[in-house]
Structure 1
Amino acid sequence: MSGHDSKYFSTTKKGEIPELKEELNSQYKDKRKDAVKKVIAAMTVGKDVSSLFTDVVNCMQTENLELKKLVYLYLINYAKSQPDLAILAVNTFVKDSQDPNPLIRALAVRTMGCIRVDKITEYLCDPLQRCLKDDDPYVRKTAAICVAKLYDINAELVEDRGFLEALKDLISDNNPMVVANAVAALAEIQDSSVRPIFEITSHTLSKLLTALNECTEWGQVFILDSLSRYKAADAREAENIVERVTPRLQHANCAVVLSAVKIILLQMELITSTDVVRNLCKKMAPPLVTLLSAEPEIQYVALRNINLIVQKRPTILAHEIKVFFCKYNDPIYVKMEKLEIMIKLASDRNIDQVLLEFKEYATEVDVDFVRKAVRAIGRCAIKLERAAERCISVLLELIKIKVNYVVQEAIIVIKDIFRRYPNTYESIIATLCESLDTLDEPEAKASMIWIIGEYAERIDNADELLESFLETFPEEPALVQLQLLTATVKLFLKKPTEGPQQMIQAVLNNATVETDNPDLRDRAYIYWRLLSTDPEAAKDVVLAEKPVISDDSNQLDSSLLDELLANISTLSSVYHKPPESFVSRVKAAPRADDEEFADTAETGYSESPSQGVDGASPSSSVGTSSNVPVKQPAAGSPPAPAAMPDLLGDLMGMDNAIVPVDEPAATSGPPLPVLLPSTTGQGLQISAQLTRRDGQIYYDISFENGTQGVLDGFMIQFNKNTFGLAAGEALKVPPLQPGASARTLLQMVPFQNISPGAPNSLLQVAVKNNQQPVWYFNDKIPLHVFFVEDGKMERASFLEAWKSLPDDHEFTKEFPASVISSVDATVERLAAANVFFIAKRKNANMDVLYLSAKMPRGIPFLIEITAVVGVPGVKCAVKTPNKEMVPLFFEAMEALTK
């Protein structure tokens, strides 16, 4: 609508609907057109004008294209809620699909594809069949997309009526836009189908390459993306494809450029001629560099893609490292990505330039960027042996500046350099020891302690230095405590004099009696036994030769890298994750090394692929304990076991906080979310979730034994949590034979061991058995398990309660992924979770539901849910006296409405 059409949004003086009805049936064309505009305006602002359906449909019989478009817009919006009346429009569609004006024919077929009503679908097949063979290319290209929409509604019908064959015929069309749309439709259909539907042959290949030159930019993207799935028969065909695609590298649209790069990279795998490959690398560099002159958001996407490309073909941008130097006004996310690429492109030839840049970045104001720059210097040292000395001298210069976080980061990377080049650069240890006072970060402290322990024989006052750390041993984080323990043992083994003897006694005592961290305690006990029974064996274990660490600049596994390169210019290449890990409709099988992600994705945790499991084994790291104190959690993963000091009592039997095992209690039901995958649990898989039955909360938990031996003696403990949930009885799990599984209901009691702070849904769980280390995992506490059975309110008391609560106690949230397919089914599902229906009303085409729920101690939740049935997107409003619980309440409601 134009700016002059704002008058249609103004309200009328008498009843709006009757007045519009009168105008829609006027004998004057202009009046009818104005009336339809008013109806659309009312519909746009959310008013319910569905009662005018018949009157609006009568206006379809017009030659005026603008009016027809408006009526079709109305139809698309209301056909779903008025399917019986929508059939009235079918005759007009059929008639319009044969109109002399191609724009009207295309409009009819486009609208038919948008009306997702099963009753009408059958009637649309004949018009669609005609339009796919229409004389006008505009109609044909619109019909091609309509087939993909129809496939989404009724795949069987599309296949039975031969639409897929018709689409494949359109690939040979003489109009390039028709070809592009046919390819786009077939690719869309292929994505939602498990069997092969769209396979490019050498015959269709030449047609697509021909159409490529004459398409619009998005048509080119569709064709290029489809061509990327084609595997050339031999080197000659691959060269031919690359030759035809290379001109696309000069295109102004970034998407076209990246799609062309993707095809060239894939076909280069088959090209045997080194000259051709070298030439292609030269041709790809300028367009990739050009992408970096775009706005920051596009730069970031380009950089994420380039990051993958340089891991596969570093020669493409080997001479272009300067374009990745950071500008002072680059946003931080662009700077960080440029740093990563600079590390990958660093070589003996350009290292001096790169180090100058990194040194400059290390004096900037953004702390995160400075840290990353310092770490980058260390990574270059590890990557380039001949440049290591230059890198170290730059790090030492930075340490002399005495900026706290720079010093700490430098020490962390120097530790890695020592491990990469043993017995080479230890002369700088004295300089490092001067900075001991400034260390306050766990990783930096742990690194310095490792250096002191590892080179104790070269440091005269090693015992004094370690002693200064030992004073605060009980307060230190687990990472530092583990390193202190190992470093003290190393010092004792290397200098078994009186000082270290007293130190080792104090440390072992602290680590076994004073701590409740099982990792630390287990390691201390192992050292204690080793030292007391066989000091020589202790030397072999603790002072064993460590494996040399390697360059980590190309972190991605080669098979994952190939998969990501095949998805260049898509979200997959920005996230650096395969599509199936974040797009649910992709029918690909999960990759083995992504099993953990696939498992947890089911549970609804979206924050992190490794949500729920750290799985560090307390005793399994003894041999390498001096190198890697404790397995670091992946980015975004939950805190390591050390962050739960009060979780499990003493595993050696000094504390009986763990409930003993009783007889088994079997249970059955739908599959449970996997919280500890077997890949992490050394063969043991644990699935669990909280549930409410007959007014009681239970932990429904299942164990699967994928190991070769029997697992028994299962024990469980829950960390402090917002609701103080704890085990109310013994865990009943029988001894598990190899390959066997057991499922049990563990009764829970609330408000036993409440953690302070803002309410959250985190439930930290520890499980152990007689054969394995302790397994830690995270679960979520769904708030609805606390909703009591008598939470239903009468309408009058609901209204009274709603009015009595102040406005600042009302909160609203959208759930874009939730969909209410049926009001009755939703009400039933919510009632099963003790969320009770009170009333319902219609607002325009939306259903508004009023419900109530109650928590123990009489805390009510007054709920209003607004949604269009069958359309994704649910709006939830709540009023409650307990504002703190609102975020958890929305989390629960989103899960219940999904």
Structure 2
Amino acid sequence: MSGHDSKYFSTTKKGEIPELKEELNSQYKDKRRDAVKKVIAAMTVGKDVSSLFTDVVNCMQTENLELKKLVYLYLINYAKSQPDLAILAVNTFVKDSQDPNPLIRALAVRTMGCIRVDKITEYLCDPLQRCLKDDDPYVRKTAAICVAKLYDINAELVEDRGFLEALKDLISDNNPMVVANAVAALAEIQDSSVRPIFEISSHTLSKLLTALNECTEWGQVFILDSLSRYKAADAREAENIVERVTPRLQHANCAVVLSAVKIILLQMELITSTDVVRNLCKKMAPPLVTLLSAEPEIQYVALRNINLIVQKRPTILAHEIKVFFCKYNDPIYVKMEKLEIMIKLASDRNIDQVLLEFKEYATEVDVDFVRKAVRAIGRCAIKLERAAERCISVLLELIKIKVNYVVQEAIIVIKDIFRRYPNTYESIIATLCESLDTLDEPEAKASMIWIIGEYAERIDNADELLESFLETFPEEPALVQLQLLTATVKLFLKKPTEGPQQMIQAVLNNATVETDNPDLRDRAYIYWRLLSTDPEAAKDVVLAEKPVISDDSNQLDSSLLDELLANISTLSSVYHKPPESFVSRVKAAPRADDEEFGDTAETGYSESPSQGVDGASPSSSAGTSSNVPVKQPAAASPPPAAMPDLLGDLMGMDNAIVPVDEPAALSGPPLPVLLPSTTGQGLQISAQLTRHDGQIYYDISFENGTPGVLDGFMIQFNKNTFGLAAGEALQVTPLQPGQSTRTLLQMIPFQNISPGAPNSLLQVAVKNNQQPVWYFNDKIPLHVFFGEDGKMERAGFLEAWKSLPDDHEFTKEFPGSVISSIDATVERLAASNVFFIAKRKNANMDVLYLSAKMPRGIPFLIEVTAAVGVPGVKCAVKTPNREMVPLFFEAMEALTK
């Protein structure tokens, strides 16, 4: 729509739907076009205009391209919810796919791919087959992408109708954009298939390399990414590929540049000529440097990729270290990445420059950055033996500034330098001891204690220094306690005089009797037994020579590094994790509800709830588990303080439950996500309470996005207002990576009731054999307790209403609720055991009288007032149980939305 079309968004008239219906069926073209624009505007702002489906589809028969686009947009959005009516549009698709105008033919084929309705898929095969062989390249390239979308809906149909072969034929097309789209479609299909579908041969290779020169930038990215999977037969072919790809390094689009870098790096492994390799390294440096002049977000992605490249081929950027010097206005995430790369590129030749930079960074205002800079100096000392002394003198200068966090970070890295170069730089210990009083961070304290213990024989007052730490031993973190214990034992073994004897007695007593940390207790008992039975053996154990630590600037395992380099310019190279650890490429087993509630990504309108209970993150589409976490947590978050008894006896439960076969997949909408995969280290849990045949169940779904099998699932519920507890063991078969399962767990009410005012909070704990215990919150919807016997006769309803005093009547407005149809609302409420009794008109409002009943015979007498199609519902209730009224209104608001 153009700028002046904004007026279509201001349609708020009460009789909007009937009015639009009339306009859509007008005999005037302009009026019909304006009506369709109004419908699209209403749809865009979230209004339900699905009842106009037939009328909008009738407007498809038009030569006006703008109008046809709008009708197709409407069709994409509502075909999912109106699959039977979507069949009405099939004839128009078939007709449009043969239209003389190639834009209309392409539009028809694009929309066919976006309508994800199984029933009409087979009708679209003939038009698609024609369009794949169309004379116009624009139509062919659109049809190529449509095949990938069709494969996602019905893989078997695509293979049976020979579409894969047609796609492979398009790789030889004379139009480079058709080639690029065919490659993109085949790569997409390959990703979701377990068997080889798209394999590049030497013949295909030359076609792709030729198309590369004339494609659009994203076409080039698709082709380059596919070429990166090709393994050259020999060094000569590898050189040929590199020669053809190298011009792409000059491209303005950084995705093209990184994809070209990826291919060159992979092919360089096969090239034997050192001159060619050296020349390629020279050519790759300028484009990588250019990426660092882009905006910060692109810089960050480039830096994460460069981080991998310099671990494999440091010579590429060995002379370019200056471009990684931090600018004052760089965002912190860019500075941190630059720092990492500078450490990797630091050498004896440039160390003086690098140390000057680091020293300057250590005086900046951002504490995290300063710490990282100080630690970087230490890491350079460990990496470069000849520069170690210069690094230490810089660290000592920083210690003299007496900025607390700088001193602490310096002590941490000096401990590592002592480990790297034993008996070399111990003369600086006296300077370190001057800063003893300022230490308040566990890691810095632990490092200083290690230094005192390790060099106790060289420090005259070592016992006094350790004693100052021992005064606060019980309050110290475990890290400090463990170091104190070992350091005191070292001191005693080196100076077995009276002072250390008393200290060791106090420490061993503290560490065995007054601690609940098993690591500390076990270590203390081992030392105690060693000292009391064989002091010489204790010396051999505690004072044994330490292995020299090594440079950790290239932390990645070589096989992982190769895998990440093969995935440059993807999320994998940004996260520095293999793709399978955060993206599941294997489709989950189809579920019975997939046809109704499948992937809605094409439409742009999510059918799953936008947010899980209590702020859980939005759920992904049902049936897949392709979540990309922003950050993988290192461990489970601690349980909330309000859950002391939850899972208290979990470890004592009978674990010998034999898993039964996975229950049949449940039909119904996708469940709200309560534990997103980003929090659950790849495990995603979705759940909600539901009622079937008079029984409450917990409908729960598990999706395994981890690289390993998950099994041994158990569940427990904390005390809650309704005493809900599991009525049986949770039975889930072992979950393979990428697999999901859904099951109904029978619940028993009034078992474990929590005291206090009623609330809807349900605290849940789930455990499996591979992960920590996960805790999450759910809500108990009151309507799951509404009994099937809640219907009242009119006379009984009136009598009950009159018999309850007025102070038992409560009213609440639901501004977000809209009743679009009285019959549909009554039907929906009846499905949740809220039963219709009578209806009357009051001015232009409908007043409904309904009844519901809780266990133990507690009735709810309900009056709902609303105008059809107008936002805002008023609900009044009379009940003898006043405490339950807030939860009742919560339930009614959910049921009328």
State the TM-score, normalized to the length of structure 2. 0.73
Q: Which runs of 5+ in 2 are unaligned?
A: none
* CA distance 1:290–1:227, shift in 2 (3 Å): same
* CA distance 1:833–1:264, shift in 2 (3 Å): farther
Contact 1:59 1:71 in 2 (8 A): yes
Q: Greater CA deviation, 665-674 or 256-265?
A: 665-674
* CA distance 1:670–1:68, shift in 2 (3 Å): closer
Q: Greater CA deviation, 171-180 or 22-31?
A: 22-31
| Alpha-carbon separation, structure 1, partners of 2:532 and 2:659 | 32
Contact 1:102 1:138 in 2 (8 A): yes
Deviation track 1:681-725 (CA, whole Å, cap 9, x = no partner) reads 999999999999999999999999999999999999999999999
Contact 1:789 1:834 in 2 (8 A): yes
* CA distance 1:348–1:813, shift in 2 (3 Å): farther
Deviation at 1:104, TM superposition (A): 1.1
Deviation track 1:605-660 (CA, whole Å, cap 9, x = no partner) reads 99999999999999999999999999999588879x99999999999999999999
* CA distance 1:109–1:739, shift in 2 (3 Å): closer
* CA distance 1:424–1:182, shift in 2 (3 Å): same
Deviation track 1:151-176 (CA, whole Å, cap 9, x = no partner) reads 11111000000000000000000000
| Alpha-carbon separation, structure 2, partners of 1:771 and 1:117 | 38
Q: Greater CA deviation, 765-774 or 306-315?
A: 765-774
Contact 2:584 2:738 in 1 (8 A): no
The residue that corresponds to 2:693 in the other structure is: 694
Contact 2:359 2:373 in 1 (8 A): yes
| Alpha-carbon separation, structure 2, partners of 1:307 and 1:430 | 38
Q: Greater CA deviation, 757-766 or 247-256?
A: 757-766
SS in 2 for 1:601: coil
Deviation at 1:99, TM superposition (A): 1.2
| Alpha-carbon separation, structure 1, partners of 2:626 and 2:490 | 8
Contact 2:614 2:777 in 1 (8 A): no
| Alpha-carbon separation, structure 1, partners of 2:697 and 2:717 | 13
The residue that corresponds to 1:251 in the other structure is: 251
Contact 2:632 2:679 in 1 (8 A): no
* CA distance 1:9–1:699, shift in 2 (3 Å): closer
| Alpha-carbon separation, structure 2, partners of 1:759 and 1:95 | 61
| Alpha-carbon separation, structure 2, partners of 1:624 and 1:742 | 11
Contact 1:479 1:630 in 2 (8 A): no
Contact 2:629 2:677 in 1 (8 A): no
Deviation track 1:115-163 (CA, whole Å, cap 9, x = no partner) reads 1112211111111111101111111101111111111111100000000
SS in 2 for 1:400: helix
Contact 1:249 1:260 in 2 (8 A): yes
Contact 1:665 1:732 in 2 (8 A): no
* CA distance 1:612–1:148, shift in 2 (3 Å): closer
Contact 1:610 1:634 in 2 (8 A): no
Deviation at 1:25, TM superposition (A): 2.6
| Alpha-carbon separation, structure 1, partners of 2:323 and 2:395 | 24
Deviation at 1:857, TM superposition (A): 15
Deviation at 1:241, TM superposition (A): 0.2
* CA distance 1:111–1:664, shift in 2 (3 Å): closer
* CA distance 1:26–1:294, shift in 2 (3 Å): same
Deviation track 1:418-449 (CA, whole Å, cap 9, x = no partner) reads 11111111110000000000000011000000
Deviation track 1:235-281 (CA, whole Å, cap 9, x = no partner) reads 00000000000000000000000000000000001101111001000
Deviation at 1:671, TM superposition (A): 20
SS in 2 for 1:592: coil
Q: Greater CA deviation, 465-474 or 689-698?
A: 689-698
* CA distance 1:622–1:166, shift in 2 (3 Å): closer
* CA distance 1:602–1:493, shift in 2 (3 Å): farther
Deviation at 1:492, TM superposition (A): 0.2
SS in 2 for 1:419: helix
Contact 2:701 2:740 in 1 (8 A): yes
Deviation at 1:545, TM superposition (A): 1.1
The residue that corresponds to 1:734 in the other structure is: 733
* CA distance 1:744–1:193, shift in 2 (3 Å): closer
SS in 2 for 1:378: helix
Q: Greater CA deviation, 787-796 or 247-256?
A: 787-796
* CA distance 1:77–1:580, shift in 2 (3 Å): same
* CA distance 1:328–1:91, shift in 2 (3 Å): same
Q: Greater CA deviation, 663-672 or 146-155?
A: 663-672
| Alpha-carbon separation, structure 2, partners of 1:606 and 1:735 | 30
* CA distance 1:467–1:698, shift in 2 (3 Å): farther
Deviation at 1:522, TM superposition (A): 1.1
Deviation at 1:31, TM superposition (A): 2.2
* CA distance 1:841–1:71, shift in 2 (3 Å): farther
Deviation at 1:88, TM superposition (A): 1.9
The residue that corresponds to 2:755 in the other structure is: 756
* CA distance 1:589–1:122, shift in 2 (3 Å): closer
Q: How does 1:305-384 map to 2 (within 5 A)?
A: 305-384=305-384
Contact 2:597 2:670 in 1 (8 A): no
* CA distance 1:79–1:645, shift in 2 (3 Å): closer
Q: Greater CA deviation, 591-600 or 335-344?
A: 591-600
* CA distance 1:304–1:598, shift in 2 (3 Å): farther
| Alpha-carbon separation, structure 1, partners of 2:708 and 2:15 | 79
SS in 2 for 1:642: coil
* CA distance 1:636–1:795, shift in 2 (3 Å): farther
* CA distance 1:278–1:702, shift in 2 (3 Å): same
SS in 1 for 2:776: strand
Contact 1:608 1:637 in 2 (8 A): no
* CA distance 1:795–1:245, shift in 2 (3 Å): farther
Q: Greater CA deviation, 793-802 or 439-448?
A: 793-802
Deviation at 1:46, TM superposition (A): 2.4
State the TM-score, normalized to the length of structure 1. 0.73
| Alpha-carbon separation, structure 2, partners of 1:425 and 1:622 | 61
| Alpha-carbon separation, structure 2, partners of 1:606 and 1:505 | 66
Q: Greater CA deviation, 844-853 or 418-427?
A: 844-853
Deviation track 1:773-819 (CA, whole Å, cap 9, x = no partner) reads 99999999999999999999999999999999999999999999999
* CA distance 1:662–1:119, shift in 2 (3 Å): closer
| Alpha-carbon separation, structure 1, partners of 2:741 and 2:225 | 47
Deviation track 1:743-769 (CA, whole Å, cap 9, x = no partner) reads 999999999999999999999999999
SS in 1 for 2:151: helix
Q: Greater CA deviation, 361-370 or 867-876?
A: 867-876
The residue that corresponds to 2:781 in the other structure is: 782
Deviation track 1:451-478 (CA, whole Å, cap 9, x = no partner) reads 0000000100000000111111111111
Aligned length: 897
* CA distance 1:72–1:735, shift in 2 (3 Å): closer
Q: Which runs of 5+ in 1 are unaligned?
A: none
| Alpha-carbon separation, structure 2, partners of 1:215 and 1:625 | 33
Contact 1:347 1:384 in 2 (8 A): yes
* CA distance 1:548–1:27, shift in 2 (3 Å): same
| Alpha-carbon separation, structure 2, partners of 1:477 and 1:710 | 34
RMSD: 10.7
* CA distance 1:763–1:30, shift in 2 (3 Å): closer
SS in 1 for 2:199: coil
Deviation track 1:479-508 (CA, whole Å, cap 9, x = no partner) reads 111111110000000000000000001111
Q: Greater CA deviation, 294-303 or 796-805?
A: 796-805
* CA distance 1:847–1:793, shift in 2 (3 Å): same
Q: How does 1:77-226 map to 2 (within 5 A)?
A: 77-226=77-226
Deviation at 1:37, TM superposition (A): 1.7
* CA distance 1:791–1:606, shift in 2 (3 Å): farther
Q: Greater CA deviation, 848-857 or 182-191?
A: 848-857
Deviation at 1:23, TM superposition (A): 2.5
Contact 1:720 1:755 in 2 (8 A): yes
SS in 2 for 1:643: coil
Contact 2:619 2:672 in 1 (8 A): no
Deviation at 1:6, TM superposition (A): 2.2
Deviation at 1:101, TM superposition (A): 1.1
Contact 1:791 1:835 in 2 (8 A): yes
Contact 1:21 1:52 in 2 (8 A): yes
| Alpha-carbon separation, structure 1, partners of 2:468 and 2:365 | 32
Contact 1:820 1:871 in 2 (8 A): yes
Contact 1:479 1:629 in 2 (8 A): no
Deviation track 1:581-612 (CA, whole Å, cap 9, x = no partner) reads 11123579999999999999999999999999
Contact 2:684 2:704 in 1 (8 A): yes
| Alpha-carbon separation, structure 2, partners of 1:369 and 1:81 | 52
Deviation at 1:859, TM superposition (A): 16
